[in-house]
Amino acid sequence: MKIGTIQIETPVFLAPMAGVTDYPFRILCKEMGAGMVYSEFVSADGIIRGNTKTLNLIQFEEPERPIGIQIFGNNAETMSQAAKFVADIFRPDILDINYGCPVPKITKKGGGSAALKDLCLMDDITTAVVEAVPKLPVTVKMRIGWNNKSIIVPEAGQRLEKIGVKAISLHPRTTKQRYTGRADWHYIKLLKESVSIPVIGNGDVCNTDDMMRMFDETGCNAVMVARAAQGNPWFFQKAKAHLEGRPVPAPPSLLDIANMCRRHFDLLLENRGERTGTNLMRKHFSNYIKGFTGAAALRKILVTAPGLPEMEKALDQFAAFAQKTELELV
């Protein structure tokens, strides 16, 4: 598929997730076959102020391409300036506008999915961003409305296409639903039938069977995966095999999981430093280490470890256990 002029080999994307989709996790998913990856969402205010922490979230490496940088804000001028800065300095393949985040600390300031309450504001922000980066494809990630009484699909999609947006990712829940209830894929199908630009479906894709069902039921051009990829970058390997009609790889072994944990941890330490890297890895340990005998005890040790030496020791013990288990199965 194409988004603007950007050719994408595999129509299975890693969704932007705050505190998750940093460089280490993105590169692991990319290596496993993700067709497109996204940065964590980045504040337009932070960008134009030159906030170091904010700008660090935008950094990426060439092997991650194609990559989208996602920005959010509540003001057209600020979003325009931020978009131009990102395009000129970082040169991503795609610039994505976040109209989907339902978290109150973002929406109370008018960011994320708060724009769903005011389509004129959405028009203004989107127009400002599109005009600021004429050579860069602009996409949008959105929800279906603020609540069940204010569903804006497909009208919003048609307006966004007219402004010049090159693709829309739709999470078919309302802001008020947050992440509860069922994602209503009917709205993905409705949006796809209402616009001519690519539509990326997102929501309640827990495995590759769900992915294939979303393609079949909605006609979407691509599927975006979020929580199902956490602790499971192998999702993309399996998804790619499904789509290409190849034999699906076997589930990861304990040794595969141990090695992936180690690689992810090493990348985080290298990329974010010891203090931040160890703190960030705790949530990833929780996602990787589950579903086998002794997982709960090991997970507790890793998540509560006071520092790097203790984490390293526990990981070494996990790797040794995994190696022993694999040898016994041969």
What torsion do the CA atoms of 315, 320, 326, 329 make, to the nearest 10 degrees? -130
Query: Which listed residue (29, 101, 220, 261) is catalytic?
Result: 101
Classify 241 as helix, strand or coil. Answer: helix
Q: Answer for the pair 60, 23: CB distance below 8 angstroms, yes or no.
A: yes
Amino acid at 100: G
Cα separation, 214 vs 238, whole angstroms: 16
Region of 231 (left: φ > 0; alpha: ψ -120 to 50; beta: rest) is left
**Residue 101 catalytic?**
yes
Cβ-based neighbours of 119, under 8 Å, separated by 6 or more: 152, 155, 156, 159
Please give the C-alpha separations between residue 127 and each of 72, 146, 154, 230, 292, in angstroms, as whole numbers. 14, 21, 18, 34, 51
Burial class (CB within 10 angstroms; exposed 0-12, middle 13-18, buried 19+) of 314:
buried
The catalytic residue positions are 101
